[in-house]
C-alpha cells in the first residue's frame, strides 16, 4: 500500500516550556488487584519482596523513571481514614471498599507501606486527602504525621509506629471527583471547601506542599472557572497566598461513552478509530480548560494536573466487574502516545498527569497473573519507556506543512499522524504516531537551527490491532526501526500502519 508523505518542521534551537517529568506520573488506588496482588504481596509471600512490596514491579517501574505515584484513590480516597492504616497490621480495623467490588479491606497497606513503596521506586508521593467523608482536622493531622520533625503530637505518633525521620511529601490532593463520588458537590460548594481544607494542609519544616484541588470532569469548564474565580479576593496578596497551586482534570477514553465502553480486545476497525478519535479529544479539553484558567490566571501560576486519564474498557470476562481489570493492547499504547503529545504541547500549564492505573487496573503499565505470579509489561508501558528522554526536557514545536492525513470518524475528522518533540543539551527526541489502521505514512522531519550528527529510531507495532502481551507471549515491544534515512531537509521516517516511533537525535 502506497504511503502518504507529510512534512513536520522542527526548529531545534527555538525551545519552549520544560516538559515536567511529572506528566509521566502514575496512580495506585485500592481497587481490584492494583495494591493487593500488584504492589503488595505481604512479607510472607514466596514472591520476592521487601517488607511486603513486590520487587519485580518496583524494578520495572524504576526502569521507566516513575516520577510520582498518586494514592490512595480515586473514589477510595474520600472513604479512607488514614489512622486505620497505621500501627501493627493485626490491630488495624477493617473497612468495606464500597466503590470497588464491595469487598472488605484489611488496611494492611497504609501510610508507612505507601511511603516505603515510594522510597523503593524513587518516586515522589502524591497523596489524595479525604474531603468527602473526612474532616479538616483529619487532613491536617495526616500532613503533620508525615512531614513534621519535632516532638509534635503527630510526629510522636509516627515515631511510636517505627519511623523517626519525617518524610518528604511534595504533592497533596484536596479530595477527588468532588462533583461525583467525592461528595456530589456543586462547584461553588467545593471551591469554599477547597480553600478551607488547603489552609490546614500546612508546610512543616522544610517540606513545601503543592496543593491540588479536585477539578473538573471532562468538559465541565464551569467547575474550573469556579475554582480559579475563588482566588479573586486574594489577588492583592499574590500567588503565595493562594490556597492551592493546581486544579485537576479527569478524562477517560472509551469507544462511545459510559454506556458502551467497548471491548479491550477483539474490536474491529470502527472501534479502533472511534477510540482514537476520542483519545485525541484530550487536546480540545486541555486547550479549553487552559483558556478558562488564562482568564483568571494570565501569568500561569496555577497548574493543570490531569491526574486521571487513560482507557476504560469493559472488564475481562470472568473477572469481578468492580475490579476494572482489562487487557492492554497496541491501541492503548497509541492512546497514551497522543495524550503525551498534548501534554508536551501544553507544558506551560500541564504540570502533572497520572495514568489510571499502574498495575492490574484500567490502562495498566503492568499486569500480574494471579495464578502463576508472572509479570507482564504492557504496550502502554513501552510508550513510557520510549518517551523517557522527554522528562524535564525543553519542548519543541512541531508544525506540519501541507496536508496531514485525515480520516472521517462518525462525522468528525481525525488526523492520523500525531507528533511532539523535545531537546536537552546536545540531544533531542521526536515522537511520531500513525493512527491509521491500514496505511503506512512517511514523515519528512524538516530539522532547522542545529546540525544533526547522528540519529536512531525505535518502533512499537504489531500485526494485529489488538495485539497484546501475556505471560507466554511478549512480542509487543519496542525494536530498532530501520525505516529512517537522510533527506535534503533532514530525515525521512517511515511510519508503519498502527505504529508508534521515536527518533533520537544527536545535535551539534
d(CA 325, CA 364): 9
Q: Which three cell numbers stand for residue 45?
A: 509471600
Q: Is 492 a known active-site residue?
A: no
Asked if residues 496 and 416 have their Cβ atoms less than 8 Å apart, the reply is no
d(CA 452, CA 475): 32
Residue of 368, 282, 280, 403 lying closest to 331 (CA atoms): 280
Choose, from 29, 144, 308, 494, the residue flagged as catalytic.
308
CA distances in angstroms from 275 to 21, 262, 414, 437, listed in the order given: 26, 9, 11, 12
How crowded is residue 411: how many other Cβ atoms within 10 Å of its Cβ? 5
Asked if residues 197 and 136 have their Cβ atoms less than 8 Å apart, the reply is yes
Q: Which three cell numbers stand for residue 352?
A: 502533572
Choose, from 177, 271, 283, 494, the residue flagged as catalytic.
177
Q: Where are the alpha helices (DSSP H) in 387-428?
A: none
Q: Which three cell numbers stand for residue 379?
A: 504496550
Q: Is 177 a known active-site residue?
A: yes
Q: What is the DSSP letter of 298?
A: T
At residue 318, the 3 state secondary structure works out as coil
**CA-based Rg of the chain, rounded to a whole angstrom?**
23
Residue of 199, 245, 194, 259 lying closest to 223 (CA atoms): 194
Cα dihedral 50/54/59/64 (nearest 10): -130
Q: Which residues pair with 422 in a beta bridge?
A: 395, 429
d(CA 322, CA 74): 14
d(CA 152, CA 149): 8
Sign of CA pseudo-dihedral 85, 87, 89, 90: negative
Q: Which three cell numbers stand for residue 405?
A: 492525513
How crowded is residue 480: how many other Cβ atoms within 10 Å of its Cβ? 9
Asked if residues 142 and 129 have their Cβ atoms less than 8 Å apart, the reply is yes
DSSP string, 2-26: PPEEEEEEEEEEEEEEEE-GGGGEE
Residue of 25, 243, 239 lying closest to 127 (CA atoms): 25
Sign of CA pseudo-dihedral 114, 115, 121, 124: positive
d(CA 92, CA 81): 11
Residue numbers annotated as active site: 177, 308
Amino acid at each position: 500500500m502506497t504511503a502518504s508523505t507529510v512534512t513536520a518542521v522542527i526548529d531545534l534551537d527555538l525551545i519552549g516550556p520544560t516538559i515536567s517529568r511529572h506528566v509521566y506520573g502514575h496512580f495506585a488506588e485500592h481497587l481490584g488487584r492494583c495494591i493487593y496482588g500488584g504492589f503488595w504481596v505481604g512479607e510472607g509471600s514466596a514472591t520476592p519482596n521487601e517488607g511486603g512490596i513486590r520487587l519485580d514491579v518496583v524494578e520495572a517501574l524504576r526502569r521507566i523513571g516513575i516520577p510520582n505515584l498518586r494514592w490512595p484513590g480515586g473514589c477510595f480516597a474520600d472513604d479512607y481514614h488514614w489512622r486505620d492504616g497505621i500501627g501493627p497490621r493485626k490491630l488495624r480495623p477493617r473497612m468495606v471498599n464500597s466503590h470497588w467490588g464491595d469487598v472488605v479491606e484489611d488496611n494492611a497497606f497504609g501510610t508507612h507501606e505507601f511511603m516505603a513503596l515510594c522510597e523503593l521506586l524513587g518516586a515522589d508521593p502524591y497523596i489524595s486527602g479525604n474531603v468527602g467523608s473526612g474532616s479538616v482536622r483529619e487532613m491536617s493531622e495526616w500532613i503533620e504525621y508525615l512531614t513534621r520533625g519535632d516532638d509534635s503530637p503527630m510526629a510522636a505518633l509516627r515515631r511510636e509506629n517505627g519511623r523517626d525521620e519525617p518524610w518528604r511529601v511534595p504533592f497533596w490532593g484536596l479530595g477527588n471527583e468532588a462533583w461525583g463520588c467525592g461528595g456530589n458537590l456543586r462547584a461553588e460548594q467545593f471551591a469554599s471547601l477547597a480553600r478551607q481544607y488547603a489552609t490546614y494542609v500546612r508546610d512543616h519544616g522544610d517540606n513545601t506542599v503543592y496543593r491540588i484541588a479536585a477539578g473538573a470532569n471532562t468538559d465541565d469548564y464551569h467547575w474550573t472557572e469556579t475554582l480559579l474565580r475563588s482566588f479573586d479576593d486574594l489577588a492583592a496578596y499574590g500567588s503565595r497566598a493562594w490556597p492551592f497551586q493546581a486544579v485537576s482534570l479527569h478524562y477517560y477514553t472509551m469507544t462511545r461513552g459510559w454506556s458502551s465502553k467497548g471491548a479491550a480486545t477483539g474490536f474491529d476497525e470502527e472501534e479502533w478509530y472511534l477510540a482514537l478519535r476520542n483519545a485525541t479529544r484530550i487536546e480540545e479539553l486541555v486547550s479549553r480548560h487552559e483558556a478558562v484558567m488564562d482568564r483568571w490566571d494570565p501569568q500561569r501560576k496555577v497548574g493543570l494536573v490531569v491526574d486521571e486519564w487513560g482507557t476504560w474498557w469493559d472488564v475481562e470476562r470472568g473477572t469481578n466487574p468492580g475490579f476494572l481489570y482489562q487487557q492492554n493492547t497496541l491501541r492503548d499504547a497509541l492512546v497514551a502516545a497522543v495524550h503525551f503529545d498534548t501534554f508536551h504541547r501544553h507544558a506551560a500549564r500541564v504540570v502533572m498527569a497520572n495514568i489510571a492505573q499502574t498495575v492490574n487496573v484500567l490502562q495498566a503499565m503492568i499486569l500480574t497473573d494471579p495464578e502463576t505470579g508472572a509479570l507482564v509489561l504492557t504496550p502502554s508501558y513501552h510508550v513510557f519507556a520510549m518517551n523517557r528522554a522527554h522528562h524535564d526536557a525543553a519542548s519543541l514545536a512541531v508544525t506540519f506543512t501541507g496536508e496531514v492525513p485525515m480520516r472521517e470518524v462518525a462525522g468528525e475528522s481525525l488526523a492520523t499522524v500525531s507528533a511532539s518533540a523535545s531537546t536537552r543539551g546536545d540531544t533531542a527526541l521526536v515522537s511520531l504516531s500513525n493512527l491509521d489502521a491500514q496505511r503506512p505514512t512517511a514523515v519528512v522531519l524538516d530539522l532547522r537551527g542545529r546540525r544533526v550528527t547522528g540519529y536512531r529510531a525505535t518502533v512499537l507495532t504489531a500485526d494485529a490491532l489488538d495485539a497484546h502481551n501475556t505471560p507466554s507471549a511478549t512480542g509487543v515491544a519496542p525494536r530498532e526501526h530501520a525505516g529512517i534515512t537522510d533527506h535534503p531537509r533532514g530525515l525521512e521516517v517511515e511510519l508503519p500502519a498502527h505504529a508508534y516511533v521515536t527518533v533520537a537525535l544527536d545535535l551539534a
